[in-house]
Structure 1
Amino acid sequence: METLSAPLISLPNRSIANNNLHFRNHQILSTIDQCSSGKQLKQVHAQMLRTGLFFDPFSASKLIAASALKSSSTLEYARDMFDQIPHPNLYTWNTLIRAYASSPDPFQSFMIFLALLDEYDDLPNNFTFPFVIKAASELKASRVGRAVHGMAIKLSLGMDQYILNSLVRFYGACGDLNMAERLFEGISCKDVVSWNSMISAFAQGNCPEDALELFLKMEGANVMPNSVTMVGVLSACAKKLDLEFGRWVCSYIERKEIRVDLTLCNAMLDMYAKCGSIGDAEKLFDEMPERDVFSWTTMLDGYAKMGDFNAARKVFDEMPVKEIAAWNALISAYERNGKPKEALATFNELQLSKIAKPDEVTLVSSLSACAQLGTIDLGGWIHVYIKREGINLNGHLITSLIDMYAKCGALEKALEVFYAVEEKDVYVWSAMIAGLGMHGRGKAAIELLFKMQEAKVKPNDVTFMNVLCACSHAGLVDEGRALFHEMEPVYGVVPGAKHYACMVDILGRAGFLEEAMELINEMPTTPSASVWGALLGACSLHMNVELAELASDQLLKLEPRNHGAIVLLSNVYAKTGRWDKVSELRKLMRDSELKKEPGCSSVEVNGIVHEFLVGDNSHPLSRDIYSKLDEIAAKLKSVGYEPNKSHLLQLIEEDDVKEHALSLHSEKLAIAFGLISLAPSQPIRVVKNLRICGDCHEVAKLISRVYNQDILVQDRYRFHHFRDGHCSCMDYW
């Protein structure tokens, strides 16, 4: 068989070719339509080369169109054929631009379009522009698309229906909904594609109400919707979490007898899952005649969001093909729902299975799980994996790496990642500011904010939340006040509820409770739960019973089942010796079936995470751990340590029992295990789910000095680095 690698055959005598042209056109060209594989198309190509028919522009265009629009593999062959044609016609140029616009490499559409402008005698037509604009939509290439739009206007094609429809879709994809709507309104005779383009633009642009409203207008205009319309409408229902309207849409599809293909079925499934109607999703899923990876992944994600991880795992195990999207759905579901161990176990399973290759989403979720658990060994391995595989370090990955290293106690490593990146977006800067803040380096966080401005990167609401948190952890009250008051007039960022909560925390921690209360009263909006929570936490630190009762009351009005509010108020009562009030609150919790979150500490040893609860004796080395605790107690007493029994927030009469209860706190168990399992040169990294208590904080300082071992504790709010009898927080936390 002759292929493109063979030398070109000379054209036959023109008279012979003309005599037989009608026969050849009828016989060979009709064969093109019957080809079902790339191999058959190559055979036809060889025949056309032998007869010289390939050099007839119309005939060549028919063969190239069949190859280009069949699959990605034959598209490359079509491109090679195209390069062999001396004078391809405009139809052939358009065919190749169209094919690449829908391919995995839409950028090639632009390259061919530029070649068309440079090499072809005639100008592009109204069929050329929609395909180039589609490529711009796929790549979200805003500047290129606008240039193409301008070119279409100059060629008097700006009001062409097909081009306008493509432009509405393009501007919607690029997030310019105003321009998309202006063009849509300018279409004099809107067809179903026009309406679909605008509905999809609204749905994808997080304007679901506008999408649904436009669909009702479409109905009023007597334009019959199709399956594409309904996909956009269902997407809007899913984003709006409007189950009632979503169900109506599904019945509408059935009533209007709209053709239901796999894409539309998946849209209905996605709507049910996102709106929390897992029963409807199950019924539809079971009835689907065809399913793809999206169908399976949607069900998996739906179960995970409902907290039914057993069902999610069952769906995952039953999937016929486990593409990386399915692995990502399971890993991220675990990670988002406070199950970092399960997330990392699934990541490890992915690595061992070699079924699919981790992508950016996999690595971001896994790094976040490492940050939650403080597993720096695995987090560091993922960093090495990213380098080894040559994975592009985009903003998401850089942010995740900085966050992971900072939360695992390796602040210098986080800074190393940060400074190695040349192009830093606002989220990268914000992540590094957060990392410095959680390590108590408030002044360094503020300095980084100023460097961010020098780099011409505008801070956003997240940046300010992080820098205000940094001020809170470092006790930088004046600096925090100044930044808070400059947010809107200087930086154009309107303070939100979270910023007010940070400011209340700054003032409250420093003991300025009255000023914190004044700030709450001056808020332009109703104070949120986070604001009252910050005040309640400050009252707990400074034992202000009256304000604590007010804050707790307001917080429970907003979140009646917030057990943390009751626990904090109970702590205030306990610290001030009001045990009758403590008993009342405990009874309230029992009657309401609310349970206090148990203290839990974990420590990583040789890549394995070991967890401890208060008074835990379930660990295989439990006997050795408690023996080590006795040794620690004896050594600390010899250097003058006395247990701070005021941190015991329950009524225990006997002093020796109080002392024993304090020694059973989960972080002490984790530190003891670290001492028997790690060499003195290895830091003990502990992750605590609650705020570390004052007694444990004092004990950790002393252990770091007596045993000459670094101890790093990440509690719920910040990082503590204990070394040589001191803590990085400077006893302000």
Structure 2
Amino acid sequence: METLSTPLVSLPSQTNPESRTVKNDGRNRLVFSLIDQCTNRRQLKQIHAHMLRTGLFFDAYSASKLFTACALSSFSSLEYARKVFDEIPEPNLYTWNTLIRAYSWSPKPIESVEIFLRMLCESPYFPNKFTFPFLIKAAAELSRSRVGQVFHGMVVKLSLGDDVFVLNSLIHFYASCGDLDFAYQVFVRIGEKDVVSWNSMISGFVQGGCFDKALELFRGMEAENVKPNVVTMVGVLSACAKMKDLEFGRWVRSYIEQNGIKMDLTLSNAMLDMYVKCGSVEDAKILFDRMEEKDIVSWTTMIDGYAKLGEYDVAKSFLDVMPTQEIATWNALISAYDQNGKPQEALAIFHELQLSENVNLDELTFVSTLSSCAQLGAMDVGEWIHENIKKQRMKLNCHLTTSLIDMYSKCGNLEKALEIFNSVERRDVFVWSAMIAGLAMHGRGRAAIDLFFRMQEAKVKPNAVTFTNVLCACSHTGLVEEGRMLFNQMEPVYGVVPGAKHYACMVDILGRAGLMEEAVEFIEKMPITPSASVWGALLGACKIHENVELAEQACSRLLELEPENHGALVLLSNIYAKTGKWDNVSELRKRMRVSGLQKEPGCSSIEVNGTTHKFLAGDNSHPLSKEIYSKLDEIVAKLKSSGYVTNKSHLLQLIDEENMKEQALNLHSEKLAIAFGLISTNPSQPIRIVKNLRVCGDCHSVAKLISKLYDREILLRDRYRFHHFSGGYCSCMDYW
């Protein structure tokens, strides 16, 4: 625990010793009045100096008046307040309590506890009912359940267990620490509950995810004839929002009107949030238009609501007409784009934000934008953000660390991701999991498993995401035995119950390795109903090993769960195509046309100088299209002269003419992106490409040869993993 020591301020030599005994005369009352009228710290320091000169400061009551202004006023400074406190020869109990209170609201609530311990050792006073609520609040802020329990025990020993103010603090403390049962026990034992008691318990249930209990308690409050206030209704609306119960939310609106509860800004914002989260942006817009007062929360809620509905133009129009644009609103729009699979649009908003002079980028801006960079493979923008974090001297907390590791890993720079991972002192489960995922997608299976065990040595408990990532690492590198061992240890050793994703990973591990019978047996013995992802993993394995019969069964089961899953039909169609069953291909494609299902088009993107360029198969829309196709012709000629023959078995549509078959494969999006990379990047730079689907076998073979013929490093990220092409080889060792 920190020890604070501040030197005493020496008194002026002319101070009259007799002035240390102060009478509460008119002049003193004038000084107290001046303290109450202070509007800034400079005035307060002048009064402080006057009190030192006259000796008034050495009266405990007078000093407490000055100290309260130093610690709790609108212009307070805890640093200055602490110096003032340390000057007071004998602080009274009120002064000690005021300092404990000030620290409980500060960014360093642990100081409240330190001051309390010092009070027990140095002062002649016992803590009272005004001491404990702020100590208990500090414990809640720190999430220190044992510290709070000690304070609870002291409350009982000091016979303060009937004070409703103290008990309300305990409800809040236990709820904040996740112990709702104990919070409810304290609540039930309160003899005369006030509205704060009910509000504390309702808020506790909402924060703990017990929304039904929160609403039930609200009804119980009515039955006890306790009149709810604004805080009560904010809690009830929060429960409605979490439950997405629009009907009840509308009833709450009527209840508020009928009971004359004032719709202040806080309550209006809570209602806006409820409407938006329940999917009724229309109701939210009506309320928003009627609100006489709006703040940043009001505007951000509306922007977030429209953005999540996909009405981005409307969301942007709200941003454009805001009286004052603040970073939280920009963040809401960037985050909405990012979370709804529109990373390109998220980066466009980010670039617009960069041009704004009055808005400072913050941690949430960087986290959301880094996520979009990761999706697109936009490392130039990601590196700019990393440099900006350094310039702002922003501390790399776990959120930023995880985002940077994820961005660099998905943009192909695994070494940079590892550098960041190794440079930070604090690593939570998400940081470890992100680094394991990075190693997995780059085919570094052994390294991922080693890191998993280093995580155990660091006493960080793995979670469900960690296991998904480490099992993926086993899948990508054919580590079957290791995968079996880790899966079998999940629940008995680590207490993590396997979920659908983990079972899908195991099916993928077995299926990729060609252990098809074992994969089927594994599915049959699953204790949970096989999900679509499980059947999808089996279907993917069938494509690798060209098992048509099993593929038909897996596809049938997958479509029972997800009738609109076009990917399953496309995958089965591809299996038919690879095995020459063109009639089946035709039948499947007809079925897709009739049902309105469309195959997701293959798309490859490449970032050059901070700009992302996208290519579809046969694309000629790029401004440098002529140069790209010229380079592609050169590549094809070089490949032929080196003896390469196009592998037409990878063609997934029936084409009669042989030359057209070859041309169709040559126009795949990843080949266009590679050609563009060759003409637009420096020979020393890696060509970084992101493909939205799994890279085809022919493109994989061609990329290996191009890396050798042109002496270029090519990093290609497909839907599942990274391929590092260099010198004619791929990091996956053709196990993909």
Post-superposition shift, 1:141? 4.2
Q: Secondary structure at the match of 2:613?
A: strand
2:455 to 438, 452, 462: 452
Q: Secondary structure at the match of 1:611?
A: strand
> 1:472 is aligned with what amino acid?
S
2:620 to 607, 617, 620: 617
1: CA distance, partners of 2:558 / 2:497: 24
Aligned to 1:236: 239
1:272 to 256, 270, 275: 275
> 1:166 is aligned with what amino acid?
S
2: CA distance, partners of 1:153 / 1:714: 62
Q: How does 1:521-560 map to 2 (within 5 A)?
A: 521-560=524-563
2: CA distance, partners of 1:357 / 1:15: 51
Aligned to 1:373: 376
Post-superposition shift, 1:485? 2.0
Aligned to 1:704: 707
Q: Secondary structure at the match of 1:656?
A: helix
1: CA distance, partners of 2:616 / 2:10: 71
Q: Secondary structure at the match of 2:682?
A: coil
Change (3 A) 1:45 1:454: closer
- Give the conservation status (yes or no) of the 8 Å contact 1:507–1:515: yes
Post-superposition shift, 1:513? 2.6
Q: Secondary structure at the match of 1:185?
A: helix
Aligned to 1:520: 523
Q: Secondary structure at the match of 1:358?
A: coil
2: CA distance, partners of 1:567 / 1:728: 27
Post-superposition shift, 1:104? 4.8
**Does residue 476 of structure 2 align to residue 462 of structure 1?**
no
Number of residues of Structure 1 aligned to a counterpart in Structure 2? 728
2: CA distance, partners of 1:16 / 1:380: 65
Aligned to 1:227: 230
Q: How does 1:120-135 map to 2 (within 5 A)?
A: 120-135=123-138
Change (3 A) 1:668 1:14: closer
**Does residue 414 of structure 2 align to residue 386 of structure 1?**
no
Change (3 A) 1:341 1:17: same
1:607 to 582, 607, 610: 610
TM-score by length of 1: 0.92
Larger mean CA deviation between 479-488 and 431-440 belongs to 479-488
Task: Percent identity, please.
Answer: 69
Aligned to 2:508: 505
Post-superposition shift, 1:269? 1.1
Aligned-residue CA RMSD (Å): 2.8
Post-superposition shift, 1:133? 1.9
> 2:280 is aligned with what amino acid?
S
- Give the conservation status (yes or no) of the 8 Å contact 2:19–2:56: no
Aligned to 2:6: none
> 1:304 is aligned with what amino acid?
A
Show CA shifts across 1:393-439 (max 9, x none). Answer: 22222222222222122222222222233443222222222111111
2: CA distance, partners of 1:236 / 1:7: 60
Q: Secondary structure at the match of 1:554?
A: helix
Aligned to 2:164: 161
Aligned to 2:5: none
Aligned to 1:281: 284
Show CA shifts across 1:115-156 (max 9, x none). Answer: 433432211210111122223333434454344334333433
1: CA distance, partners of 2:264 / 2:735: 61
- Give the conservation status (yes or no) of the 8 Å contact 1:171–1:177: yes
Larger mean CA deviation between 584-593 and 453-462 belongs to 584-593
Show CA shifts across 1:151-172 (max 9, x none). Answer: 3334333443211211211222
Larger mean CA deviation between 244-253 and 598-607 belongs to 244-253
Change (3 A) 1:16 1:498: closer
Larger mean CA deviation between 632-641 and 188-197 belongs to 188-197
Q: How does 1:616-695 map to 2 (within 5 A)?
A: 616-695=619-698
Q: Secondary structure at the match of 2:160?
A: coil
Aligned to 2:154: 151
2:311 to 293, 308, 311: 308
Post-superposition shift, 1:470? 0.9
Q: Secondary structure at the match of 1:436?
A: helix
1: CA distance, partners of 2:499 / 2:327: 37
**Does residue 411 of structure 2 align to residue 408 of structure 1?**
yes
- Give the conservation status (yes or no) of the 8 Å contact 2:535–2:557: yes
- Give the conservation status (yes or no) of the 8 Å contact 1:383–1:401: yes
> 1:347 is aligned with what amino acid?
F
- Give the conservation status (yes or no) of the 8 Å contact 1:12–1:51: no
- Give the conservation status (yes or no) of the 8 Å contact 2:19–2:54: no
- Give the conservation status (yes or no) of the 8 Å contact 1:9–1:52: no
Q: Secondary structure at the match of 2:723?
A: strand
Post-superposition shift, 1:694? 0.8
Post-superposition shift, 1:624? 0.5
**Does residue 319 of structure 2 align to residue 320 of structure 1?**
no
**Does residue 354 of structure 2 align to residue 351 of structure 1?**
yes
Show CA shifts across 1:508-565 (max 9, x none). Answer: 2222233222222222222222112212222233333333233223323322322212
2:445 to 432, 442, 447: 442
Change (3 A) 1:354 1:9: farther
> 1:470 is aligned with what amino acid?
A
1: CA distance, partners of 2:351 / 2:321: 19
1:584 to 583, 587, 599: 587
- Give the conservation status (yes or no) of the 8 Å contact 2:443–2:732: yes
1: CA distance, partners of 2:145 / 2:354: 38
1: CA distance, partners of 2:494 / 2:359: 45
Q: Secondary structure at the match of 2:568?
A: helix
Post-superposition shift, 1:268? 1.0
Q: Secondary structure at the match of 2:620?
A: coil
Aligned to 1:569: 572
1:335 to 338, 346, 370: 338
2: CA distance, partners of 1:13 / 1:432: 69
Post-superposition shift, 1:271? 1.4
2: CA distance, partners of 1:540 / 1:369: 31
> 1:481 is aligned with what amino acid?
R
Aligned to 2:600: 597
Unaligned runs of 5+ in 2: 1-8
Q: Secondary structure at the match of 2:140?
A: helix
Q: How does 1:116-265 map to 2 (within 5 A)?
A: 116-265=119-268
- Give the conservation status (yes or no) of the 8 Å contact 1:181–1:198: yes
Larger mean CA deviation between 110-119 and 502-511 belongs to 110-119
- Give the conservation status (yes or no) of the 8 Å contact 1:687–1:714: yes
2: CA distance, partners of 1:37 / 1:14: 27
Post-superposition shift, 1:362? 2.1
1: CA distance, partners of 2:14 / 2:196: 45
